[in-house]
Chain A
């Protein structure tokens, strides 16, 4: 499949922005893994949480592969942007729901849920990056949809 299906500018925009986010995900994921030992990382955004770090690295790797595969396989490149951003938005939704669940749990157990915990939960790396990815997702979706329709 050639680049003729999509405007090169649009294609470049989607893959470059996705890959840039991929790099940020990879850096923050690594920070999460090193949070206990390194003082360079913001532990408020990337707490020492292995699960979260692995998730960030996974999403980062998928998003970053978008630019690596652009010349070789345009379908794979677009799919990487789409799947990566979909996972990123899902991760954000899950984190926001988890914060909500913790808040509800505090109420049930008669404890007070502090503002600090709420902010820390909502600004954790997977949520924070997810808000930005939420803005990018419609663009990626439209591009991929156009690609599928035009190529069939």
Chain B
């Protein structure tokens, strides 16, 4: 959504480092009502809300949580492009009072960009608890912009912030030369500014000349591209190269030097505004972190917390899942089938296709909601950052940072929210990698498949066999990540730069808002896709080369064998699946499993003419699988195409190209691994 099109009053952008309380301020200002769009040219979500001040409507845009405005992270490019190109009337810089240095780096970067800004000095209460007193009026003088102390959680200071928004949005002075880079660099900046003025004057209508000059001297590739896109830009770049070469005779690493100058300035500011009024003692956060980030006890805590999160989501949601299933797949389904007004095909389409489709999605809803509730709780109190910190060391060996653990953990519940959770990863390449490996986390829907096959074939060893699927899941996810980071999304892990936020009491409004936002997305995106998919499968099941087979095909294995689905199953079982030793029924189940993995067991039960409970005994009696082909089948189910809802989510997060990539690599990997297992079985004579 373009800001210009919706502009009614003022446009205010909210910027801040992660964990500065930016989201809390956004929610307090907008009343939590936000609409979601995408940033121009990318599929990263943009949150926009409205704030009414007197009679003026203010549009509040939540910029991504960032640490600076470099060209290394997509989020940072998005933020600076928004500030420069969309030209908001005001930028509110949310500064974390308990970690001034890091927040002030972002503040200086935004001020250098020439933005009309105000500073919200947030978490001032926590700073006081830590014995820190901040002279915010002096900070205002030093930065040249108004500073308002706030406590977003309680809403303290937000009235002053609102007043200031109205005053400053009408116009305020930007302070471009806030950092002095020393005589040599300052002279170079002036030279580059002159160059820009004479060669690319058009560019300067959009960007401040000092900022462009600084970025060119830092050799910012995004800015270089921008300058080159103007006539005369190439000449500027050539001259800048020469100026840089001259400077580098005196300063070895120019970029590092300029960053250091900014930090020197920050240190000066902090020294003159911060006063330690009492010695820093032990806080609750220090105390809890001594265990929760401990290299041994931290792991025990993480195991306990994650296990309880899973129990909370999966066990406590069970009656609600059953209730939804009973009401929709049971009562509503039967009621529609019993409607005499409808022709049988339409009743079957509505009941078996559409209602069952919606039912499948809605039966997930309690589980998903409770999972998101638990996750939002852990995020809000500040615990998820600790888990990420704990695994960072191991994950960095695979080119990932600790933050990737969150999507992977969520993936063991459901892959859809797991892919969505990758948004929290700042580095774009790492985010893509995480989103593409998330479907390898074995979701709860795959568990019934493992259980049925394992109990049918492996009997007493079933538990260990099922557990081995989890080991495969984690191993494959890490190995695929390593391969992706080495060959596709090249680069090592960006490391874990997020500071540990202090633990806070959970806030019901924030938790429920986070939970609802995620659940809503699940319903909207996954729901529609599953609905269409199930209707499609219904069509394949009730029709065949001889035409309409009748709605009885869904409950009759003989009829179903002659449907398009049955035919497809035969084609697969006699060609690609032949070396794997799977019959047409299991092949059909795998095709149906593309819609949702739960369907695999249900389909097999129908095709073998038994209920789900009698399936293991039937599979054992009919010798459908040998231990080798059965294990290969389980592995295939673990890896092959993620369900339709996950595919749709990957498409919405990364685009169609990556969705196809995920689909292809997972199919190939699943097939090759299953084939290897069967081949190995033949080799050692256990097939």
On whether the beta carbons of A75 and B305 are closer than 8 Å, the reply is no
Q: State which residues 252-286 of B face A: CB under 8 Å.
A: 278, 280-284, 286
Say yes or no: is B40 at the interface (Cβ < 8 Å to chain A): no
Taking CB atoms, residues of chain A closer than 8 Å to B312 are 94, 97
For residue A83, which residues in chain B have a CB less than 8 angstroms away from its CB? 288, 291-292, 297, 301
- CB contacts (< 8 Å) of A105 on chain B: these are 318-319, 322
In the bound complex, how far is the Cα of B463 from the Cα of A109, in angstroms?
27
> From residue B315, how far is it (CB to closest CB) to chain A in Å?
4
A2 CB to nearest chain B CB (Å): 12
Bound-complex Cα distance A59 to B301 (A): 7
* With known contacts A91-B308, A94-B311, A104-B319, A75–B290 Cβ distance under 8 A: yes
Nearest to B281 among chain A residues (CB) is: A152
Q: How far is the CB of A95 from chain B (nearest CB, A)?
A: 8
Q: Please, how many angstroms separate the alpha-carbon atoms of A109 and B330 in the complex?
A: 11
Interchain CB contact under 8 A, B291 and A58: no
B304 at the interface (CB under 8 A from A): yes
B131: interface (CB < 8 Å): yes
A80 to B281, CA, bound (A): 19
Q: Would you list which residues of chain A between 40 and 64 have a CB under 8 Å from chain B?
A: 50-51, 54-55, 57-59, 61-62
Within 8 A of B (CB), among A110-142: none
A57 to B278, CA, bound (A): 41
B311 touches A50 (CB 8 A): no
List of B residues within 8 angstroms of A55 by Cβ: 303-304, 307-308
Q: Which residues of A contact B315 (CB under 8 A)?
A: 94, 97-98, 101-102
Instruction: Provide the residues of chain A in CB contact with B323, threshold 8 Å.
Output: 108
In this assembly, does B316 line the interface, its C-beta being within 8 Å of a C-beta of chain A? Answer: yes
Contacts A/B (CB < 8 Å), 16 sampled: A54-B307, A55-B303, A59-B300, A62-B300, A75-B282, A76-B291, A83-B292, A94-B311, A97-B312, A97-B315, A105-B319, A109-B326, A148-B283, A148-B284, A151-B282, A152-B280
| Chain A residue nearest to B312 in the complex (CB) | A94
Residue contact B291 to A62, C-beta cutoff 8 Å? yes
- The verdict on A21 contacting chain B, using a C-beta distance below 8 Å, is no
Top 6 closest pairs, chain A to chain B, by CB: A152-B281, A104-B319, A58-B300, A105-B319, A58-B304, A98-B315
The CB with the most chain A CB atoms within 10 A, among B280, B318, B467, is that of B318
Complex CA–CA separation, A98 to B524 (angstroms): 29
**A58→B301 contact, CB < 8 A:** yes
B287 within 8 A of A: yes
Given pairs A59-B304, A61-B300, 8 additional interface contacts (CB within 8 A): A50-B463, A55-B308, A83-B291, A90-B308, A94-B311, A102-B315, A147-B287, A148-B283
Residues of B near A57 (CB, < 8 A) are 300
Chain B contacts for A54, CB-based, 8 A: 303, 307
Q: CA separation between A148 and B286, bound complex, in Å? A: 10
Report A-chain residues with C-beta under 8 Å of the C-beta of B286.
75
- Output the least CB separation between A35 and chain B (Å): 12
Question: At the interface, yes or no: B294 with Cβ under 8 Å from chain A?
Answer: yes
How far, in whole Å, are A78 and B467 apart by their CA atoms in the complex? Answer: 35
CB distance from B133 to the nearest CB of A (A): 15
Known: A97-B316, A108-B319, A152-B283. A79 touches B304 (CB 8 A): no
Tell me the nearest residue of chain A to B285, going by C-beta.
A148
Confirm or deny: A1 has a beta carbon within 8 angstroms of a beta carbon on chain B: yes
Report the Cα distance A1→B297, complex, angstroms.
21
B interface majority secondary structure: helix
Complex CA gap A51/B312 in Å reads 13
State which of B282, B305, B317, B467 has its C-beta within 8 Å of the C-beta of A147: B282
Q: Which residues of B contact A65 (CB under 8 A)?
A: 297
Q: How far is the CB of B471 from chain A (nearest CB, A)?
A: 13
A76 nearest CB across to chain B (Å): 5
CB atoms of B301 and A87 under 8 A apart: yes
Q: How far is the CA of A58 from the CA of B300 in the complex (A)?
A: 5
Identify the closest chain B residue to A76 (Cβ).
B290
Q: For residue A152, which residues in chain B have a CB less than 8 angstroms away from its CB?
A: 129, 131, 278, 280-283
Residue of B129, B131, B287, B323 ringed by the most chain A CB atoms within 10 A: B287
Q: How many Å lie between the Cα of A123 and that of B281 in the bound state?
A: 42
Q: Which single residue of chain B is at the shortest CB-CB distance from A65? A: B297
A98 touches B316 (CB 8 A): yes
Given A62-B297, A98-B311, A108-B326: A80 touches B291 (CB 8 Å cut-off): yes
CA of A109 to CA of B320 in the docked complex: distance in angstroms? 11
Rounded to whole Å, the gap between the CB of B306 and the closest CB of chain A is 10
B33 to nearest A CB, angstroms? 32
Are A87 and B319 in touch, CB under 8 angstroms? no
Inter-chain contacts of A50 with B (CB < 8 A): 463, 467
A101 touches B308 (CB 8 A): no
Q: Are A148 and B282 in contact (CB under 8 A)?
A: yes
Q: Are B281 and A151 in contact (CB-based, < 8 A)?
A: yes
Instruction: Select one of B131, B281, B297, B308 contacting A94, CB under 8 A.
Output: B308
Give the shortest distance, in Å, between A144 (CB) and chain B (any CB). 7
A87 touches B305 (CB 8 A): yes
How distant is the Cα of A79 from the Cα of B318 in the complex, in angstroms? 34
Query: How far is A73 from B292 in the complex, measured between Cα atoms in Å?
Result: 15
Chain A residue at minimum C-beta to C-beta distance from B322: A108
- Residues in B with CB closer than 8 Å to A51 are 307, 311
Which partner residue on chain A sits nearest B292 by CB separation? A83
For the complex, what is the distance from the CA of A91 to the CA of B312, rounded to whole Å? 10
Interface string of A64-95 (1 = CB under 8 A from B): 01000000010110111011000100110010
CA separation between A83 and B298, bound complex, in Å?
A: 10
Contact A91 B316 (CB under 8 A): no
Q: Please, which residue of chain A has its CB at the minimum distance from the CB of B311?
A: A94
Instruction: Give the complex CA separation of A98 and B300 in angstroms.
Output: 22
Task: Point out the residues of chain B lying under 8 angstroms from A91, CB to CB.
Answer: 304, 308
Residues in A with CB closer than 8 Å to B308 are 55, 87, 90-91, 94
Q: Which of A1-38 contact B (CB under 8 A)?
A: 1
Residues of A within 8 A of B283 (CB): 148, 152
User: Which residues of chain B are near A80, meaning CB under 8 Å?
Assistant: 291, 297
Chain B residue nearest to A110 in the complex (CB): B326
Tell whether A61 pairs with B319 under 8 Å between CB atoms, given A75-B282, A78-B287, A82-B287.
no
In whole angstroms, what is the CA distance A82 to B307 when docked?
19
Taking A54-B303, A55-B303, A82-B287 as contacts, is the C-beta distance between A61 and B297 under 8 angstroms? Answer: yes
Measured in the bound complex, the distance between the Cα atoms of B305 and A87 in whole Å is 8
